[in-house]
Amino acid sequence: MTAVLNSKLLEFDGHLARLERSLKELSIAMPVSAAQLKAIHEELIQKNNLVEGGIYLQISRGNAGDRDFAFPDAEVKPTLVLFTQARPVINHPNAAKGIKVVTMPDIRWHRRDIKTVGLLAPCLAKEYAHANDADDAFLVENGFITEGSSSNAYIVLADNTVVTRPLSNDILHGITRKSLLLLAERDGIKVEERLFTPDEAYHAKEAFISSATTFVWPVVSIDGKPVGDGKPGPVAQRLREIYLEIAKKETA
């Protein structure tokens, strides 16, 4: 999903680079050139009068005929699908009030760095969260939080250091995550990329998530326990503020 602000694409180049990497890892050819793909995005924005929201993109290997787990011998043309979603991204209520999360086991496959359409586990995680009076889930593997159901996860220590899991095959390499970490260091906010446990998250000063269309949403409770004072914290709010400053300039 690529965010759209003021009818313009946000961080398209980052999403394109991750798409190309994911396709390479799966041995799927790009069905169109990078320039053509951007033009398609821009045409969709215009045709749908999209001012704020996002554009979802999906590429599959193509029609191979008979059902078979092996890649097709014959050359097939990948299928490209895109659609727009109008939604508030700047003034979303969750950005102001924060969200509640619960922890649950991470049951996903071990190439989460590849952005795929295998979304059964994230759907189950989101449903588990809703069934337990929460908005989302923090996924846990081997005693450590990996990420949210569709977001990267962060905590803030007492000295305002931001902690998030380092890049590996265990998490999606978030485009917003990359920008936030650069902006944090530029703003004088210390960042540590390391593993962290649910217990450390329970006792953190703050917690928050990031994704392409949430940008930064504070987390105010985990497993029913308030994070900090149970309200959105200043570090998360500051990161959202400086991210939006850049985003608005890029899409002005």
Radius of gyration of the chain (CA): 19
As a whole-number percent, the residues of the chain with pLDDT over 70 amount to 99
- Tell whether 38 and 157 lie within a shared domain: no
Query: pLDDT tens-digit profile of 191-223?
Result: 999 999 999 999 999 999 999 999 999 999 999
Considering the candidates 47, 97, 115, 126, report the single residue annotated as catalytic: 115
190: annotated active-site residue: no
Residue finishing a domain among 61, 86, 111: 86
Is the model's pTM score more than 0.75? yes
> Average pLDDT in the 59-67 region?
81
Cα–Cα distance, 142 to 144 (Å, whole number)? 6
pLDDT reported for residue 215: 97
Query: Pairing mode, if any, of strands 99-105 and 215-222?
Result: parallel
Residue finishing a domain among 86, 110, 130: 86
Cα–Cα distance, 67 to 55 (Å, whole number)? 30
- Tell whether 205 and 97 lie within a shared domain: yes
Confidence band (pLDDT; 50, 70, 90) for 64? low
Tokens at 176, concatenated: 């917003």
**In Å, what is the CA distance from 140 to each residue of 31, 44, 97?**
36, 37, 25
Helix pair 234-250, 175-186: axis angle to 10 deg: 110
CA dihedral 159, 150, 53, 84 (to 10 degrees): 160
Please report where in the chains the tokens 């097939």 appear, as a residue.
76
Confidence band (pLDDT; 50, 70, 90) for 65? low
The SS3 call for residue 70 is coil
- Tell whether 187 and 107 lie within a shared domain: yes
Domain with residue 48: its CATH number is: 3.30.470.10
Query: pLDDT tens-digit profile of 118-152?
Result: 999 999 999 999 999 999 999 999 999 999 999 99
